[in-house]
Amino acid sequence: MASSPAKVTGPPRSRPVRLATPDQLADPAWAWAAYEPGAQRPWNIALAAHLYRRAAFGANWQQLQQTLSDGPQHTIDRLLQPQADVQTYYRTQDGYEDDVRSVNELRAWWLRRMIKSPHPLLEKMTLFWHSYFATNGGAVQQAGLMTNHLRLLRRHALGSFGSLLQNISRDPALLS
């Protein structure tokens, strides 16, 4: 006796994203223009999910629904300047960070911080710069140096690249 296929439930699929034409890609004015949703480029769940994958660590279904109703500009503003009490969260996290005794504990602590952060763009950029400068706990093997390195990256993650370079060039974790 043949069984019927299982029914998959979950969020509905959105319409496919329209890609830019070759003429549009060759036009710098189009490429650098602010995104304006419209008939040719609708704001949909695929674009919202893409934004969250690029500027955060993804989004859950409720966040995506909120993003669809808020629109792209409000979502970008929220990612750049979160409404949550970020400073209180970071003061708490910095207290835990000071208690880290090994590089493995630091990795676990940072992963938890990335997942729970009210400012995921800051953590995403900290991770980006961490990869860019290719410093890792396995090579440094001193939790204190790596903790200070991450603090430096976080402090400059969304700021001036020149300032980041000046400060990172004197970072003991990078020099070790």
Q: pLDDT of 41-58, one tens digit each?
A: 789 999 999 999 999 999
Contact partners, residue 159, CB within 8 Å, separation at least 6: none
26-44 per-position pLDDT tens digit: 778 877 878 788 777 789 9
To the nearest 10 degrees (0 to 180), the angle between helices 45-55 and 72-80 is: 20
Are the beta carbons of 93 and 64 closer than 8 angstroms? no
d(CA 131, CA 119): 19
Reading the block at residue 119, the tokens are: 């400012």
Q: Is 4 helix (H, G, I), strand (E, B) or coil?
A: coil
Query: Please, which pLDDT band fits residue 8 given cuts at 50, 70 and 90?
Result: very low
pLDDT of residue 78: 93
Give the per-residue pLDDT at 9: 46
In angstroms, the CA 120 to CA 117 distance is: 6
pLDDT tens digits, one per residue of 137-159: 677 888 888 889 999 999 999 99
The predicted model scores a pTM of 0.76
